[in-house]
Structure 1
Amino acid sequence: MRARTAGRSPWAAGAVVVAGRGPVVAVEEAMGWAVGYASYDETTGRGVELPPGDRVPATPATPFDLASLTKLFTTVAAVQQLERGTLGVDARVGTYLPEFRAAAEHGITVRQLLTHTSGLRPELPLYECASDASRLALLRAEAPTARPGTARRYSDLNMLLLQHLLERVTGRTLDGLVRDGITRPLGMTATGFGPCPGAAATEDQRRPWAKADRGMLRGEVHDENAWALGGVAGHAGLFATARDLAVFCRTLLSGGSYGAARILGPGFVELMFTPPGLGFLLDRPRFMGELAGRGAAGHTGFTGTSLVLDPATDTFLVLLANAVHPRRRPVPDHGPRAAAATRLARAVRGS
């Protein structure tokens, strides 16, 4: 995989790759630019490159907008509550959130949120609402478009409901749960919800290709709904370095422990990896390349992020990129993700 070096490769301005097996980090490489463009020129259809002296190179220490990789942290926070017995995996959402009347009326369960089988559509235009109250009312009234439990349909709304559920049963905000339950005990000091001023830039976010007019973004969450919700959302909002995500991956591959820290018991980590999986995408192998299969699990993020865990070989791959800098694509390109995963798979097989 090759990242853009200001004006070349079509996939990303910059990227960081970290890969490892067991306790060994075998690859840690940064390429391209964390910040390479001043704006996007819709007339020419090209990014307006910054002068060479103003560009910021990507390094292994560069934080990236994780986008939907945030869902994995929300999932772990939920599974922690399963382990503590404060949440039931097959309990109905309405038991905890009766005011979410549509979810309550249709009997949506916690498991269905975690497995994307709730029947909820992918997203709602919360960014168009005038107030927090109107956003909350819209979410509470949203009914599934398919009977819950009958089909898998990936949806940001699942994680937004899960966020409200977690905050209700714990009395704490999601950012606090992630910080105190995951990142702080694991020493992931470069991971947290924004703003994150030193992060890689993302998009010159403007209509009509985007859903809001915010200009070139750096350190502010790219996802419009997460932005409308104040930057802390169950489906998006976290920033992290690849080094920190390597720790997260090692923790899950080691049954929930890293060094002296334990964030989950092995049985609950296994629950996350067992089909259909909790939080992880086990049925979308394209981005996993030849790591797919044999129990491998992973997730992607819209901004160009992904991670893959292969318990069978104790292998992990983290790829962070700003593929939406300076502008998003209408259709995500999994080619570079798959290529990186395939190279790792072949290296492991040949070892």
Structure 2
Amino acid sequence: MPSLERTCGGSRELSAPRLRRDTPEKACLDPEELCRLVADVRALTAGPRPWAAGAVVVAGRGPVVAVQEASGWALRYAAYDPETDSGVELPEPDRVPMTVDTPFDLASLTKLFTAVAAVQQIERGTLGIDAKVGAYLPDFRAAADHGITVRQLLTHTSGLRPELPLYDCANHAERLALLRAEAPSTQPGSYAYSDLNMLLLQHLLERLTGRTLDVLVRDGITRPLGMTATAFGPCPGAAATEDQRRPWAKADRGLLRGAVHDENAWALGGVAGHAGLFSTGHDLAVFCRTLLAGGSYGPARILGPDFVELLLTPPGLGFAVDQPWFMGALAGHGAAGHTGFTGTSLVVDPATDTFLVLLATTVHPRRRPPDSRPRAAAATRLARAVRATKGTAGPERIPG
């Protein structure tokens, strides 16, 4: 929430405080637990077969960034060798070290920005959360015929299957025809995570506003918050992702760096409701802080507090809520966040006013079965750091 300046006569409301780098003690976090958190992240990038080639972790409480560390490499491999099932390592002088300013392909963290853009329209009264998608997209006949609602798109309860092979279509007209004809594969109302939800939501927002999704995100979120390193690609200098080839991938594109990893987002030109954004750890920390402050950051306000609460109240609109498999011990009291296939994740915990951003290149040089145990372990470290400074009346509040 906006900070209060104490005066002799009471208090007056100021703009929400901006993030500042300071010590764990200033953030009322235990420094030993945060040292262990940093050591754990560094270990994830070590050895011949690391969990990730490189990683960035940013963690804090209130307006204080207590951890901001980079480990490993933004570019370590030239290719993937299927015969040895290992990466072809670049000579060390040709590798690119990871830094705290390295941009990452956010993958499904893009969904959070699409969700915020939708809730902005809900706040303005131009979009009804329980309105039928067909009211806005009548040409999307299958969605219209099954009565899919905006809320169902945002909560992954539309019944749509996880994805469509848009990357195999010859042109945009074929891709659009597939989306328009796609009917739910299960009864709407039951949970089934699907990229198609956010693709339909993208089309709805673009039809409603007359602006493309990249413009909506830029003008409504990243520009007012000063997130200058966050945008849809291409993004030269980003951390490398995959040597993308069949049969393990869905397209033959070679080693990717700065181009979106998701094959459908790539087929759609790099701007998609489910994937396509690039960002840095610091920019995502600003995004987290904005949510924890009720939608405000500095003088900017992108949502009102009631609508941030709408986003983060279970089951969450775009956001996952209380998911121990990647939130660790932060889950259970309203923590919200998301993961991305490329190795990205973020968690905000309103109960303790903490945030954790962990960006990792887990698909460099090629995708593996997902393993979120390191994400959960990092979140648990942060939760333990909070508990270590907790008073009998609850967590301390961090002054602005």
TM-score tier, shorter chain, comes to: over 0.9
Deviation at 1:283, TM superposition (A): 5.4
1:72 aligns with 2:97: no
Please report the RMSD computed on the Cα atoms of aligned residues, expressed in angstroms.
Answer: 0.8
Deviations 1:52-105 (CA, angstroms, capped at 9, x unpaired): 001001110000000000000000000000000110000000000000000000
- Name structure 2 gaps, 5 residues minimum: 1-39, 390-400
Residue pairs, 1:66-145, within 5 angstroms: 66-145=106-185
Letter in 1 for 2:138: P
Alpha-carbon separation, structure 2, partners of 1:294 and 1:46: 41
TM-score, length basis structure 2:
0.86
Alpha-carbon separation, structure 2, partners of 1:275 and 1:57: 39
Alpha-carbon separation, structure 1, partners of 2:179 and 2:243: 28
- Name structure 1 gaps, 5 residues minimum: none
2:195 corresponds to: 156
Alpha-carbon separation, structure 1, partners of 2:346 and 2:295: 17
1:313 aligns with 2:357: no
* 8 Å CA contact retained: 1:300, 1:307: yes
Partner residue of 2:312 out of 245, 268, 273: 273
Alpha-carbon separation, structure 2, partners of 1:274 and 1:189: 29
The alignment partner of 2:321 has SS state of coil
Letter in 2 for 1:50: L
Deviation at 1:4, TM superposition (A): 2.3
Alpha-carbon separation, structure 1, partners of 2:388 and 2:49: 29
1:340 aligns with 2:378: yes
Alpha-carbon separation, structure 2, partners of 1:301 and 1:285: 16
1:185 corresponds to: 224
1:289 corresponds to: 328
Deviation at 1:201, TM superposition (A): 0.2
Alpha-carbon separation, structure 2, partners of 1:223 and 1:192: 16
Deviation at 1:263, TM superposition (A): 0.2
Alpha-carbon separation, structure 1, partners of 2:360 and 2:312: 25
* 8 Å CA contact retained: 1:38, 1:50: yes
Partner residue of 2:263 out of 224, 239, 243: 224
Residue pairs, 1:165-176, within 5 angstroms: 165-176=204-215
TM-score, length basis structure 1:
0.98
1:236 corresponds to: 275
1:250 corresponds to: 289
Residue pairs, 1:2-81, within 5 angstroms: 2-5=43-46, 7-81=47-121
Alpha-carbon separation, structure 2, partners of 1:133 and 1:263: 34
* 8 Å CA contact retained: 1:36, 1:55: yes
Segments ≥4 residues shifted beyond 3 Å: none
Over the matched positions of the two proteins, sequence identity in percent amounts to 81
* 8 Å CA contact retained: 1:3, 1:9: no
Alpha-carbon separation, structure 2, partners of 1:194 and 1:144: 30
Deviation at 1:121, TM superposition (A): 0.4
Alpha-carbon separation, structure 1, partners of 2:253 and 2:270: 14
Deviation at 1:3, TM superposition (A): 3.2
1:204 corresponds to: 243
Alpha-carbon separation, structure 2, partners of 1:197 and 1:49: 21
* 8 Å CA contact retained: 1:62, 1:200: yes
Alpha-carbon separation, structure 2, partners of 1:8 and 1:48: 11
Deviation at 1:335, TM superposition (A): 1.1
- Which deviates the most, 331-340 or 206-215? 331-340
* 8 Å CA contact retained: 1:38, 1:48: yes
Deviation at 1:9, TM superposition (A): 4.6
Alignment size in residue pairs: 348
Deviations 1:2-37 (CA, angstroms, capped at 9, x unpaired): 2324x5353100000000100000100100000000
The alignment partner of 2:44 has SS state of coil
Deviation at 1:285, TM superposition (A): 2.3
